[in-house]
Amino acid sequence: MKKTISVGIIMGSDSDLAVMAEAGTVIEEFDISYEITVASAHRSPELVHKYVTTAKERGIKVIIAGAGGAAHLAGVAASLTTLPVIGIPIKTKSLDGLDSLLSTISMPPGVPVATVGINAGKNAGLLAVQILAIGNKNLESKLIAYKEKMNIEIKIKGEKLSEIGYKKYLASPVDDLRPREK
């Protein structure tokens, strides 16, 4: 039986892949299926149109779109569907991603794009999971466990910092500060 794809990840260029892969990694952690592709709002608008307008047929419930510079991909995607679209502004060389951020968040009334921070692939993946968890108790339970694990990790790091001081903490390998799996 073919697994239904729940999240579509689209990027304007393969140079965006490292950031977009962070979203995929988070989605995989929650055992959600996704697909990932490259299609540019400016260089291949017909691919974007086909991808977005056929997304529901493929079972997609959330689209994550990342682009840099003019960063119109998320807005174009949102204009073509009623599915929630999460935009990831990608950091650029010329303006450090501020151009991408402003383009992604500057949507006209009626075409909303949920926008995460610059290069925030992880948060985009988590937001997609949270959207999907609205009607899924199993997924909601996984999110609760995920957030509790973060809470415990921060508590352990705070205790370690208090115990050894900031100089030794900064000199310690990161792995020494993380809680051990039981």
Range 7-134: architecture per CATH: 3-Layer(aba) Sandwich (3.40)
Looking at every residue in the chain, the average pLDDT score rounds to 93
pLDDT of residue 176: 62
* pLDDT for the residue 1: 42
State residue 5's pLDDT score: 85
For the chain, what are the domain ranges? 7-134, 138-177
Q: Which residues of the chain are modeled with pLDDT < 50?
A: 1, 180-182
Supply the pLDDT for residue 173: 80
Q: Is 13 annotated as a binding residue?
A: yes
Write out the two tokens for 31.
């055992």
- The pLDDT assigned to 172 comes to 85
pLDDT value at residue 178: 53
Q: Is 15 known to sit in a ligand binding site?
A: no
Residue 174 is predicted with a pLDDT of: 67
* 130-137 contact pairs (CB < 8 A, 24+): 131/61, 131/62, 131/84, 132/6, 132/7, 132/32, 132/61, 132/62
* Residue 58 known to bind ligand: no
29 Cβ partners below 8 Å, 6+ apart?
Answer: 146
Euclidean distance between CA atoms 63 and 27, whole angstroms: 12
Interatomic CA distance for residues 50 and 73, integer angstroms: 13
pLDDT reported for residue 94: 87
